[in-house]
Amino acid sequence: MVSRRRDNAQSIDDLLNRFLRDNGLETPLQLDRAKRAWYELSPMISKYTQEVYIRGDVMYVHLKSAPLRQELLMAKDMIIKQINRAARAQVIRDIVLR
């Protein structure tokens, strides 16, 4: 039996990404990854988080602790980078901590 390589072979990752993009599912998936990334930053952050939602490219986070809010404000740029890395896209431009 002769083994032939197909010229139109594509990786499953490429096919899945194209399917998600074509069906309008890529952005909701990225936003869900971003929200999950917030809770995975640290158990302490997760413990003091009341609510996380995203409007446009801004993530709004309601926290129970004012000292934690101040500490996170100082690290906001780094947190945005981590969340976007986890989402595998530039979905978050700013974080509003309340």
In a domain, 91, yes or no: yes
In a domain, 86, yes or no: yes
Q: 78 is in which domain, residue-wise?
A: 29-97
* Helix 66-74 and helix 76-87, axial crossing angle in degrees, nearest 10: 80
Domain tally, the chain: 1
In a domain, 43, yes or no: yes
**Which pLDDT tens digits describe the chain residue by residue (98 residues)?**
555 666 677 888 777 778 767 776 678 889 999 999 999 999 999 999 999 999 999 999 999 999 999 999 999 999 999 999 999 899 999 999 99
Identify the CA nearest to 79 among candidates 43, 48, 39: 39
Q: Provide the whole-model pTM.
A: 0.78
In a domain, 23, yes or no: no
Question: The domain spanning residue 49 has which CATH number?
Answer: 3.30.300.130
In a domain, 3, yes or no: no
Contact (CB, 8 A) for 95 and 76: yes
